[in-house]
Amino acid sequence: MPAAPDTVRPQPEMPLAHPLVDRAFIGVLVRDFYSRVRADSRLGPIFAAEITGDWEPHLEKMTDFWCSVILKNGAYSGRPVPAHLRLKQVTEADFDIWLGHFRNAAAACCPPEVAEIFVDRAERIARSLKLAMFFRLERPGVETVG
Ligand code: HEM
């Protein structure tokens, strides 16, 4: 028997249609998340080194980004991979810290079925950013001296 269509958990390529979730809602989540990140002893300084003046443009850009990811409204047209490749001090373990704050922010701001969708999308994007930043083919037997 074919599975019933899953209306509660849309596939990543489908927009989320939930009465609560609009740009204002996403803006609240983004601000909650970045207040956690900015207070973090490891991630706070990394962001502070990059965003030296007014945080508002970054928060608005990140709200557009999450609107594009969740609502599929095309609000964001930047390029996340080059923005992160520049951050030489970031390690793979930093992504676990980042995701921990994102999970906590989503749990604080969203009903559980909505939090689950945001967290799923964040985990997918984190995985692909990590591949872009850290994946290297090992070449056994090849000495890399110097
Ligand atoms: C340890 C993990 C991460 C760190 C330290 C980090 C740090 C940063 C910093 C410092 C910027 C600002 C760069 C700039 O303005 O030039 C930035 C931009 C951005 N980040 Fe992250 N990030 C992390 C993970 C993620 C993840 C998992 C996502 C998505 C789910 C994400 C999405 C973005 C986006 C969309 C931008 C804006 C890029 C642009 O268009 O300029 N980041 N990130």
CA of 123 to the centre of ligand 1 (A): 13
- Give tens-digit pLDDT for 6-37: 556 778 889 999 999 999 999 999 999 999 99
Residue pLDDT, tens place only, 53-100: 999 999 999 999 999 999 999 999 999 999 999 999 999 999 999 999
Ligand 1 atom nearest to 51, measured from its CA: 15
pLDDT of residue 74: 96
Question: Which tokens belong to 46?
Answer: 């990394």
Is residue 142 predicted with pLDDT exceeding 80?
no
Ligand 1 binding pocket includes 61 (Cβ within 6 Å)? yes
Taking a C-beta distance cutoff of 8 angstroms, is the pair 81, 65 a contact? no
The residue behind tokens 């850009």 is 61
pLDDT mean across residues, the chain: 92
Residue 139 confidence (pLDDT): 76
Q: Which amino acid is at 40?
A: D
In order of their start, the domains of the chain are 23-134 (1.10.490.10)
Would the CB of 121 count as within 6 Å of ligand 1?
no
The pTM is what? 0.91
Q: Which atom of ligand 1 is nearest to the CA of 99?
A: 27
Candidates 56, 84, 117: which one to mutate for ligand 1, based on the most atoms within 8 Å of Cβ? 84
Residue nearest to atom 43 of ligand 1 (CA): 84
Of 146, 105, 144, 134, nearest in space to 122 by CA: 105
Determine if ligand 1 sits within 6 Å of the CB of residue 46. yes
Residues 90-115: pLDDT tens digits? 999 999 999 999 999 999 999 999 99
Give the count of beta carbons closer than 10 Å to the beta carbon of residue 125. 14
Residue 66 and residue 63: Cα distance in Å, rounded?
5
Closest CA to ligand 1's atom 34: 80
Classified as helix, coil or strand, 146 is coil
Residue 1 pLDDT more than 60? Answer: no
